[in-house]
A and B are shown apart, each in its own frame.
Chain A
Amino acid sequence: MNKVYLIGGGATKIGEHWEKSLRDLFVEAALKAVDSAEISLKDIEAVYVGNMSSGELQGQEHLGSLMATWLGIPGVAAAKVEAACASGGVAFHQAYLAVASGLYDCVLVGGVEKMTDAIIYDVTAALIMADDYEYVAFTGASFVGLNAIVYRYYMEKFGVKQEDIALFAVHDHKYAVNNSYAQYQFAVSLERVLESPNVADPIKLFECAPVGDGSAALVLCSEDFAKKLGKDFLVQVAASTVATDTISLTNRRDLATLEATVKAANRAYRIAKISVEDIDVIEVHDAFTILGVLHLEDLGFAEKGQGWKLLKEGELEKNAKIPTNMSGGLKARGHPVGSTGVYQIFDIYLQLIGEAPNQVDSAEIGLAQSVGGVGGTVAINILRRVK
Chain B
Amino acid sequence: MKPLKKVGIAGYGAYIPMYRIKDEEIARVWGRDVRRTPIQEKSVPGIDEDSLTFSVEAAQNAILRAKVSPQEIEAVYVGSESPPYAVKPTATVVAEALGITPRLIAIDMEFACRAGTTAMQSVMGLVASEMIKYGLAIGTDTAQGRPQDELEYTAASGAAAFILGPHNSENVALIEGSYSYVTDTPDFWRREGEFYPMHSFRFTGEPAYFHHIYHAAIGLMESLGLKNSDFDYVVFHQPNVKFPLKIAKLLGFSADKIKDGLLTGIIGNTYAAASMIGLAAVLDKAKPGERILMVSFGSGAGSDAFSIIVQDAIEEKRNLAPLVEDYIKRKKYVDYATYVRLRRKLRR
Instruction: Return the chain B residue nearest A198 by Cβ.
Output: B33
Contact with A along B248-264 (1 / 0, CB 8 A): 00000000000000000
A16 within 8 A of B: yes
Q: In the complex where A197-B33, A197-B36 touch, is A119 in contact with B198 (Cβ < 8 A)?
A: yes
Chain B hits for A116, CB < 8 A? 202-203
- Bound: A16/B204 CA distance, A: 12
Residue A120 CB within 8 A of the other chain? yes
Question: Does B222 sit within 8 A of A, measured CB to CB?
Answer: no
Q: Does A18 contact B (CB under 8 A)?
A: yes
Which interface residue of A16, A18, A197 has the most chain B CB atoms within 10 A? A18
Q: Is the CB of A117 closer than 8 A to any CB of chain B?
A: yes
Do most interface residues of chain A lie in helix, strand or loop, or is the interface mixed?
loop
Chain A proximity mask over B185-213: 1 for CB below 8 Å, otherwise 0: 00000000000001011110011000000
Q: How far is the CB of B41 from chain A (nearest CB, A)?
A: 21
A277, B206: Cα distance in complex, Å:
46
- Interface of B, secondary structure class, is helix
| Inter-chain contact B206/A16, CB cutoff 8 Å | yes
Interface string of A104-122 (1 = CB under 8 A from B): 0000000000001101100
> Is A16 in contact with B202, judged by CB distance below 8 angstroms?
yes
Verify B36–A18 contact, CB threshold 8 A. Answer: no
What residues of chain A lie closer than 8 Å to B198, measured between beta carbons? Answer: 119
- A18→B183 CA distance, assembly (Å): 14
Residues of B within 8 A of A197 (CB): 33, 36
Which B residue sits closest to A123, measured CB to CB? B201
- In the complex, which residues of chain A have a beta carbon less than 8 angstroms from the beta carbon of B206? 16, 18
A18: which B residues are within 8 A, CB to CB? 203, 206-207
The answer to whether B203 and A117 have CB atoms under 8 Å apart is yes
Task: Report B-chain residues with C-beta under 8 Å of the C-beta of A16.
Answer: 202-203, 206
A116-B198 Cα distance, complex, nearest whole Å: 15
The CA-CA distance from A19 to B208 in the complex, in Å, is 12
- Ranked nearest first, the 3 interchain pairs of A and B with the lowest CB-CB distance are A18-B207, A120-B201, A197-B33
Residues in chain A within 8 A of chain B (CB atoms): 16, 18-19, 116-117, 119-120, 197-198
Write 9 A-B pairs (CB below 8 A) sorted by A numbering.
Answer: A18-B203, A18-B207, A116-B202, A116-B203, A117-B203, A119-B201, A197-B33, A197-B36, A198-B33
Given contacts A18-B203, A119-B200, 16 further A-B contacts (CB under 8 A): A16-B202, A16-B203, A16-B206, A18-B206, A18-B207, A19-B207, A116-B202, A116-B203, A117-B200, A117-B203, A119-B198, A119-B201, A120-B201, A197-B33, A197-B36, A198-B33
